[in-house]
Amino acid sequence: MRDIDKERDTILMCEVMAEATYVGHHKKKIAFIFSAMRHFADELRTDGYRVRYTRIDDHDNTGSFRAEVKRAVDDLTPSAICVTEAGEWRVRLEMEKWAACFDIHVEIRPDRRFLMSHDEFESWAEGRKALTMEYFYRNVRRMTGLLMNGEEPVGGRWNFDVENRQPAKPDLFRPTHVRFTPDDTTTEVIETIARLFPDNFGTLEHFSFAVRRPDADRVLQEFIAEFLPNFGATQDAMLQDDPYLNHSLLSFYINIGLLDALTVCRAAERAYLDGNAPLNAVEGFVRQIIGWREYMRGIYWLAGPDYVDSNFFENTRPLPSFYWSGKTGMNCLATVITETIDNAYAHHIQRLMITGNFALLAGIDPKAVHRWYLEVYADAYEWVELPNVIGMSQFADGGFLGTKPYAASGNYINRMSDYCTSCRYDPKLRIGENACPFNALYWDFLARNQTKLKSNRRLAKPYATWARMSEETRHEIQKQAENFLANLS
């Protein structure tokens, strides 16, 4: 839109069933996206732009992206189509057909919501024996100048993660995150979603997302002022009755385009420079955005459309039904999944070390895990979700993205959360009816995948521990895991 002619050009926006149903998205996710679209269209019209907008329930809605573009081309007879590049392989392949299908010039422009282009990422990755996010992150820090003193990182270190792994305690004085009451537009969208998608995952109750840029900016400002100072130390912590803790809740708005990633990082950097937030908190937050977010996007496009089929461990077990209901005796999983049903959100450690960790240990089909994550989170788009799940959470790419599987026993969950205090299972037990399932599953995962993982230097210590166990102990652990998995379905 940077050189649009308000007098001659028309902006096409369309809600189509094909996009809303290619996976069974969380009700709140669909409502959030459609409401943000409608508010944006209204802002454009107010600013004097011509907008052609198709709603999901319009009687003449053709139901697909291509067909809506064709209908607009037939009605408006434009000389060209100008569009931002797709965020997913599926849509890119669709867009590349438009010129031939519609016999029209199609200009596909780069997505300016990101700091690094596809070519720049490929150039960085070319010739490297291994792709490591930490080195990519340092490169982007140099490129942007964020938290830099010339060529050196502020504080003399690139990474303060070792200071960001503390458990948290319930805090009645923790600030509350800002919530937004649905206006008439959002209320209408919610009613439409409830009518058209009654069986989709999740609830529509208590919808409180920002759906306009000024409101998203308010979320950013309140995070910087109220939560960023304490974000770092407890960013890996989990609490039973506090799903948000000090997290930013900004991924929704950055990924949909209501906030600019670099602007967000500059605001966090300013808080440090002004003495309002510690370096470990600001560096950890910035790393999630210009490190992981940019790295995930680069990996997604570098790996290609077949990346989704990666299955290094050859796992085939179906996703357990409790991923849809939250009904399980494992309190950590029940809590995180129930919060996901309610909020279309879970923070990164809940996703990685609870739902993702369990799926990895239990040998769940990684493609099924990927589909679940894409469906249930309001900030999930394939370019960011797929590499996070396939590469990081499930290690299904065999180490293309990360250096080791993120596998952990009940001890980790007990240390970083209060979930275990109200769970029927004991995180200190490996064997028996009351033993935490994560414990036997963890050792069984290492044992059954030893051929594939034994050369991984980051797993040397747990494999050494496994080797020191008696044969009888190892047998009991594997039998415990076998019995649990046999009843999982």
pLDDT tens digits for range 331-356: 999 999 999 999 999 999 999 999 99
State which residues form the domain around 461: 322-486
The amino acid sitting at 405 is: P
pLDDT band at 161 (very low <50, low <70, confident <90, very high): confident
Percent of the chain having pLDDT more than 90?
95
Q: Report the predicted TM-score, pTM, of the whole model to 2 decimal places.
A: 0.96
What pLDDT does 367 receive?
98
Q: What is the 3-state secondary structure (H, E, C) of 181-239?
A: CCCHHHHHHHHHHHHHCCCCCCCCCCCCCCCCHHHHHHHHHHHHHHHHHHHCCCCCCEE
Q: What is the pLDDT of residue 165?
A: 82
The reply to whether 103 and 129 lie within a common domain is no
The CATH number given to whatever domain includes residue 407 is 1.10.579.10
**461 and 326 within one domain:** yes
Residue 356 lies in a domain: yes
The Cα 477–Cα 473 span in angstroms is 6
**86 and 144 housed in the same domain:** no
Give me the pLDDT at residue 363, please: 98
pLDDT higher than 80, residue 215: yes
pLDDT for res 164: 83
* pLDDT for 377: 98
pLDDT at 129: 85
Among candidate residues 252, 275, 303, the one where a domain is terminated: 303
8 Å CB contact between 246 and 124: no
Tell me, what's the pLDDT at 171? 85
pLDDT tens digits for range 374-398: 999 999 999 999 999 999 999 999 9
Residues 271 and 337 both lie in one domain: no
Report yes or no on 264 lying in a domain. yes
In this prediction, residue 306 carries a pLDDT of 97
Q: What is the CATH number of the domain that holds 83?
A: 3.40.50.620
- The structure tokens 């649009």 sit at 4
Same domain, yes or no: 283 and 370: no
What average pLDDT does the chain have? 96
262 token code pair = 């670099």
- State pLDDT tens for residues 297-323: 999 999 999 999 999 999 999 999 999
**Among candidate residues 59, 90, 109, the one where a domain is terminated:** 109
Decide if 350 is inside a domain: yes
pLDDT the model gives residue 157: 95
User: Are 417 and 345 found together in one domain?
Assistant: yes
The model's confidence at residue 482, banded by pLDDT at 50, 70 and 90, is: very high
pLDDT in tens, 242-271: 999 999 999 999 999 999 999 999 999 999
* Domain end marker among 109, 138, 153: 109
